[in-house]
Structure formats: structure tokens, C-alpha cells
Amino acid sequence: MSENHLKAKMVVDRTFKISDVNPRIYGSFIEHLGRAVYGGLYEPGHPTADEHGFRQDVINMVKELQVPIIRYPGGNMVSAYNWEDGVGPKEKRPKRLELAWRSLETNEVGTNEFVEWAKKVNAEVMMAVNLGTRGIDAARNLVEYCNHPAGSYWSDLRREHGYKDPHNIKVWCLGNEMDGPWQIGHKTAYEYGRLAAETAKAMKLVDPTIELVSCGSSNTAMPTFPQWEADTLEYTYEYADYISMHQYYGNTENDTANYLAKSMDMEDFIKTVISVCDYIKAKKRSKKTMYLSFDEWNVWFHSNEQDKKLEPWTVAPPLLEDVYNFEDALLVGSMLNTLLRHSDRVKMACMAQLVNVIAPIMTETGGGIWKQTIFYPYYYTSVYGRGTALNTVVESPKYDSKDFTDVPYLDQAVVYNEEKEELVIFATNRHLDNMLLVDIDIRSFEGFELVEHIVLEHNDPKAVNLLHDQQVKPHNNGESYFENDKLVAVLPKMSWNMIRLRKKSSN
């Protein structure tokens, strides 16, 4: 074993339950932005396009991720969107100036097409309504169009458009980032709270089975955070089932140690929002617990400068096309761990976004497809992180960075899948130079054996994946082993790991 290693300890016990993991925490997001829709999931002239113009190569790769829910159609875009523009005969759909991203929106893809596409990738739709330029009427009509079986104006219009059965969309976002001055129709907390509550009331009258997400702050740096949450929940608590959270990180100061600690900010954010929700719960003497929908999270900063140079009012400009590097994948892994550790309150989350726009999947318009570095932690956590999240007792060496103190080198989350009798450990080693040896006491998992130890590692934190040059890929040669009934996890320097154990079969 290398001389340069640090030691950590963990205790994992099947009785230390946090919560069942809601698979919806592995959701994602498609906005009408850049090449997410046009040139991403929809490209009729593409060699792999199906009869509806959807790229089959994209469908296949999205299916690999097992994304259970996808937020649509925005994002900032939804705040000036007329959903009626995107339904009915395609040749009659208007081209519109899309104000949020200053692009040209052809409306070739709209609600029905997206619902069709989501079915192909086995995902449910999380639909956002426009509370920027519109309000109660447009929102309740959209619920009627999508979810009412038949016999009313909007449901019959859907049937006329070729969709006999209702879409039955369960989850609806009451606007997007309404606290942000950049939002079209930006509102004060009072204005938003009242509008969201009245809209929610009308939407639930149309379909009482829907679940609603009230807008939380756009990020922790907003001057109105967390007062916005408290003020808006005063009005929406009764109607909403979730409050939204959004957060993006970047390594703008090029300080890897500090960057890798940024999931600690995400953790504080979650704790604060939980506190505010519970304060309002107490204030209202409510029996209802508000859940969190972390429906935009990711790394986003690489493309900021290049985006400023793009010409406005074009169709599908290459906006927000961050090329992710290896250290971004490490942070994404830790962000996923953070969601898992809070799975008792975070019941939905969306990696923002899914294709081409700050995305794990990239395409060339008319050409190929590839996996960005961040694809891998998302893939493994989504596919194997299903079951019950377990609390762990951890002793890890720590470091201080520019913005954080006591950052554990070991960042982890553990999921036990009772049905498959599998125990899965997700672990990031934040140390830039040293390997971490973690003694893991898995005392209540007697008779479990190692199935695989997947490692994502690279010497260069800035290594990237391009269409024809995939530098960052996981391997299955992790060196974890058992010693006296204890699992020793061997985490290479700067690495993301998944260690999967399974109960030995009795034969």
C-alpha cells in the first residue's frame, strides 16, 4: 500500500435508517433553451430520428440514466411561455421571440410532443406553469388540457389534437425562480405568494390529485434568502406539497480543494430550508410536512463567457454548453451524496439539465453523441442508489479551504436495497494527493461480499470528454477488500467511488 495514505472510519448499520429514497431525486430537466430540445432530443433530419423526429441515440442514452421524472419546459423560459403556442397542427404554430434566452422559438415541440418523448425514456413529466406573464387562467387551462379525461373545452381540444387519453401529469411547478430580478414577471414574495396560492387552488380544483411545487429561492446568494421561503410559504403552505431549491456551483477561482467542498454549501442550504418550512409548519399549527424539490442543481460556469458572444434571435443557439471536467464530476458525486443524506425531506431533485445545456449528455447536431464526465456519478447513483438511505457514523480527517472549515476528505452516502439484498456505498475522496483508506464496520450485514468497486479517477482535474476523446471514464478495478470482517475501502486520491456489496447466496 502506498505510503501516502490517510485513514478514515465508518460504521454502517441497517437500523440507522434515514428514509426510503424516492427515485424522483434522480430526476432531470429539459428546458426550451439552446440545443436541449432542437438538436438535442428532437432533430427530424438526424440519421437516428424516429417517426416523430426524436433522436433514438439520445433516447437510448437517457434511458441508461433511468431518469424517473423530467422538469419541462423551463426554467426561465416558462415565465413568458404561452403553452397554447406549442399544441395543435405544427404548421399553424407561431414562431416567437423567446425572451429569457433571446432566441427564436419555433414551437415545433410542445406539451404533447414532450409527453410522448418522456414516455419513450420511461420518465414522468414535471410541468412548470407560467407565473411570470400569465397566471391562474392559463395554468388551470393547461391542467384541464393535460389531465381532464374529456367533455370540456380544453380536454376536447387535446383529443382533437390526437391525444384521446389524458396525460395525467402529477407534478406541477408554480412558476420558476420568481424571486429573481432576471425573471420575466419577477415578483415580490407577497405578489408571488398570493398568486401561487390562488393558482394552486384553481389547479387543484381541476385535478385534486396533482402535487404542487412552490418556488423557493433561486440560490443561497439571493439577498431575499431565506426570508423569501418564509414569506411565500405563509400563502402557499396549505396548497403546495414541495418547495423548490436551485443551486449551481463553479470553480471560478480555480481552487480545486475549495471547489470540492461546495457540496457543504448545498447541505447548509437544505438544512436552512427545512428549518424555515418547519417554522411555518409550527406557526400555522399544521400537521403537514413540506418536502423539498431540489429541482435545479449542477455545475454551471464554463460557458458563461462564450454565451455572451452569441447572436440573439436564432433557433437553437449553442447556449450553456459547459464542457465538464473531472473535478466537476467529483463535485456532482458529492452533490448526489448530499441529496441522499437528506432523502427524508428531499423527495424530488432534477439535475439541470439533461441534453446539451449544462448536461451529462452532449450531441453534435447531425452527428454523434457522447457522455460528459458528470454522466458517470449520476448514472451509478441513479441506477444503484435505490432503496433505503442509511445514516453512517464517520470519522474522517478534515481540511480547511478558502470558504469552508472542517471539510471531511471523505464524503459518502449509503443505500441498502432490501429487495436485492445489496448495500451500496458512494464515496468521494476529496484529497488532491493522498489515497484514503476507510475502515468500514458493516456489522449488521454479515455474509455480504464485494460485487464491484467502480472508480472514477484521473490525474488531471481538468481532463474532459469530447466526442472523439473520452479521457474520463470509470473503471471496475477498485481495490477495496475485506479484512477481519471489516470492509476496507481503498479510495484513490481525488476519486469518486461506488462500492457494491451483496449477500452471498446460500448455495
Catalytic residue check, 234: no
- The residue ranges that bind ligand AHR (CB under 6 A) are 31, 74-76, 176-177, 218, 246, 296, 352-353
Annotation marks residue 305 as catalytic: no
Q: Which is nearer to ligand AHR, 103 or 497 (CB)?
A: 103
Nearer of residues 267 and 296 to ligand AHR, judged by Cβ: 296
Cell output for 65? 440514466
C-alpha cell at 428: 468521494
- Give min distance, CB of 246 to ligand AHR, in A: 6
Cβ nearer to ligand AHR, comparing 236 with 244: 244
Of 6 and 332, the one with the shorter C-beta distance to ligand AHR is 332
Minimum CB–partner distance for residue 76 and ligand AHR (Å): 4
Return the closest-CA partner of residue 302 out of 275, 320, 277, 283.
Answer: 320
3-class DSSP state of 70: strand
Least distance between ligand AHR and beta carbon 133 (Å) = 15
Q: At 81, give phi and psi (nearest 5°).
A: -90, 135
Cα–Cα distance for residue pair 21/347, rounded to 1 Å: 8
Q: How far is the CB of 220 from ligand AHR (least distance, A)?
A: 13
Closest CB to ligand AHR among residues 178, 260: 178
Active-site entry in 113, 124, 144, 177: 177
Rounded-to-integer distance, Cα 286 and Cα 244, Å: 20
User: Smallest distance from the beta carbon of 177 to ligand AHR, in angstroms?
Assistant: 5
- Given the residues 105, 124, 296, 327, the one annotated as active site: 296
Where b means 16+ CB within 10 Å and e means fewer, 118-132 reads bebbebbbbbbbbbb
Among all residues, whose Cβ is closest to ligand AHR?
Answer: 75
Indicate the burial class of 475 (C-beta count within 10 angstroms; 0-12, 13-18, 19 or more): exposed
Beta-carbon contacts of 500 under 8 Å, excluding residues fewer than 6 positions away, are 384, 422, 423, 424, 425, 450, 451, 452, 453, 454
Least separation in angstroms between CB 127 and ligand AHR:
14
Query: Is 453 in a helix, a strand, or coil?
Result: strand
Segments of 360-491 assigned E as strands: 361-363, 369-371, 388-395, 398-399, 407-408, 410-417, 422-429, 435-441, 448-457, 465-466, 469-470, 481-483, 486-491
Asked if residues 371 and 361 have their Cβ atoms less than 8 Å apart, the reply is yes
C-alpha cell at 318: 449553442
Closer residue to ligand AHR (CB): 256 or 356: 356
Which residues are marked as active site? 177, 296
